[in-house]
Amino acid sequence: MLLLLGVTLVVARAAPASEAKPPAPRLIVLIAIDQMRADYFDRFGTQLTGGLARIRSRSAFFRHGLQDHAITETAPGHSTMLSGRDPAHTGIVNNARGVQDPLAPVLGVQGGQGASPRRFIGTTLYDWMLAADSGARVLSVSRKDRAAIFPVGRAKGSVFWYADSQFTTSTYYADTLPTWVRSYNARRGPARLAGAVWAPLLPDSAYSEPDSMWFENGGTDIAFPHRMPADSTASQRLTTFPWMDSLTLDFALTGAGELALGHRDRPDLLVISLSTTDAIGHAYGPDSRELHDQILRLDRWLGGFLDSLDVLVPGTRTVVALTSDHGVTSFPEYAVAVRHRKAGRVWLGDVARGPADALSRRFRTDIELDFDTGLLSADTAVLRSRGVNVDSLAERLAGEARRHVGIAKVYTPASLRRAPPADVDAGRWRRLLPTGFGWLLCAVPMPGYVWSPGKQVAEHGTTALDDVEVPIAFMGAGIRAATIGRPVRTVDIGPTLAAYAGVTPTEGLDGRVLGEVVPGWRPVAGRGAGGRRGNTSE
């Protein structure tokens, strides 16, 4: 199936040779591929022929990019990409405390919980662009609400995501959908995929992975071909099939044309977060034939998208950054059965259950004791107001947590403060937790173990490299193609794009400008030149 469901694919013009000093970009593009591990470029590299191959070969490619914080999930990961700040400073700790907002209903969706960036703290690249040019435009698109929202932060612009079989937004951004979005939804592209068959793109000999493992996809529909429902439920099931990325790219390209992004002398911003790799990765795992095939299809569709975008805005006036919000760990069942390694699933919800009930009965109030992805949070202010010694309670619960199989480390607020700088895991938890956030313990599982309440899916969320390491790449005029081995962080993307475009951040940042992308850059004295880590070139 072609990339474009509603737009004719066009062939890009050849780009002219690079100039000594490239012209300022008219369009800044961020492509975030949800759950894209950095090693996929090496594993599947010889079979990549489209957009992923182009970015890999023509970019400053950092093979050891880091989402350098704990709870490696979609919401905190996306909050780092264009803000230049860690989750401890964006305020986005996990998915559960993400975009949910009953005061911002989603347009055209009945009974939804609403979505907005109200929990997000601070600014992003788009805010810095607006400070320099009030006419700067943005389009942010994803299948997921949080992935569309957080790269843009609190700014109000054209932000859309897929819900109830259509692309939509919430009342935080608009009271009605723009005409072009309504027209796009009227094409009923998702419904046209009813009954479509997902078969491998290449011959079976091109895939080294087994076609089926008993633990994949909850134990059902584990072998190719996979079929979309032939009835009205196809639009809902689309999110777990590769074509969701095709639809997202098609919608983004349509929107870029309708909004005339990149048609001015000052830069506009296009953000695209592609979520299907995450859905397929959770269901089938990073070691599956399905994941392999998904990456190949994404590569081809992304190539067609870049070709078409290059006609809308010349490639010499476009800069593209690519990254991911997190990686993923192999199925523990796969690690044990195939790799013969220790692995498993661990959860600490039982540590919280008893104390939560006892404290709630004692004080007749909800202390909000909750365990999620390694973190036991609580309303510590309420506990202290009732005379509870929070440090003692935390240490007692930490002692129980340490007895669980698969737990490597447990920190309380007191022990996390004392942890040495060389403790990488402690550093990642510090970069996640905002000052004043109420919590009692956070934990690190042993290698191969994942946070899981029991659902049989591949998981992410730990501080292990498989979850933390992501690709980071920059492609544009004047950026020398190279593979860089040193670790860099996703908080470096925003400041680097800002420096490339000549935009000044309006607050101190945790990230730095990457010298391989913007050689010789030096911070300008004054607003935005400082930062928590200096915001300097490296």
Please report whether residue 257 resides in a domain. yes
- Give backbone dihedrals phi and psi of 176, rounded to 5 degrees, phi first: -140, 155
CA–CA separation, 458 and 467 (whole Å): 11
Please report whether residue 526 resides in a domain. no
What pLDDT does 313 receive? Answer: 97
Please report whether residue 386 resides in a domain. yes
For 43, half-sphere exposure in the C-beta direction (CA atoms, 13 angstrom radius) is: 17
pTM across the whole model: 0.93
β 226-227/197-198 pair status = antiparallel
What pLDDT does 400 receive? Answer: 94
Q: What is the DSSP string of 408-421?
A: EEEE-HHHHHHS-T
Q: Which domain holds residue 389?
A: 348-447
Residue 363 and residue 298 share a domain: no
CATH code at position 489:
3.40.720.10
- Cβ burial of 361 (10 Å; 0-12, 13-18, 19+) is exposed
Query: Which residue, chain included where needed, has tokens 């008219």?
Result: 26
Residue 304 and residue 355 share a domain: no
Give the bridge partners for 274, in sequence order: 33
What pLDDT does 12 receive? Answer: 33
What pLDDT does 523 receive? Answer: 65
Residue 328 and residue 233 share a domain: yes
Dihedral of CA 231/236/239/245: which sign? positive
What would the pLDDT profile of 83-100 be if each residue is shown by its tens digit?
999 999 999 999 999 999
Residue 239 and residue 370 share a domain: no
In this structure, what token pair is assigned to residue 143?
């299948």
Residue 262 and residue 324 share a domain: yes
CA–CA separation, 154 and 494 (whole Å): 15
Rounded to the nearest 5 degrees, what angle is found at the Cα of 218, between the Cα atoms of 215 and 219?
Answer: 60
CA–CA separation, 233 and 211 (whole Å): 26
CA–CA separation, 323 and 273 (whole Å): 10
Residue 432 and residue 469 share a domain: no
Please report whether residue 342 resides in a domain. no
Residue 215 and residue 311 share a domain: yes
CA–CA separation, 346 and 405 (whole Å): 7
Residue 290 and residue 386 share a domain: no
CA–CA separation, 302 and 274 (whole Å): 10
Residue 433 and residue 372 share a domain: yes
CA–CA separation, 56 and 194 (whole Å): 34
Residue 384 and residue 318 share a domain: no
Q: How far is CA 396 from the centre of its chain?
A: 35
Residue 272 and residue 242 share a domain: yes
Q: How far is CA 167 from the centre of its chain?
A: 19
What pLDDT does 95 receive? Answer: 98
What pLDDT does 17 receive? Answer: 40
Closest CA to 418 of 406, 408, 426: 426
Neighbours of 197 (CB within 10 A): 9
CA–CA separation, 505 and 33 (whole Å): 25
Please report whether residue 145 resides in a domain. no
3-class SS of residue 128: helix
What pLDDT does 533 receive? Answer: 45
Please report whether residue 221 resides in a domain. yes
Which portions of the chain are predicted below pLDDT 50?
A: 1-19, 525-530, 533-536
What pLDDT does 5 receive? Answer: 43
What pLDDT does 361 receive? Answer: 80
- Give backbone dihedrals phi and psi of 352, rounded to 5 degrees, phi first: -85, -25
CATH code at position 400:
3.30.1360.150
What pLDDT does 358 receive? Answer: 81
345, 351 Cβ separation under 8 angstroms: no
CA–CA separation, 331 and 364 (whole Å): 41
Helices 289-312 & 243-258, crossing angle to 10 degrees? 10
Q: What is the CA radius of gyration of the chain?
A: 23
Please report whether residue 22 resides in a domain. no
Residue 306 and residue 400 share a domain: no
What pLDDT does 538 receive? Answer: 59
Give the bridge partners for 376, in sequence order: 371, 441
Query: Which residue, chain included where needed, has tokens 């700014």?
Result: 155
- Domain total in the chain: 2
Please report whether residue 137 resides in a domain. no
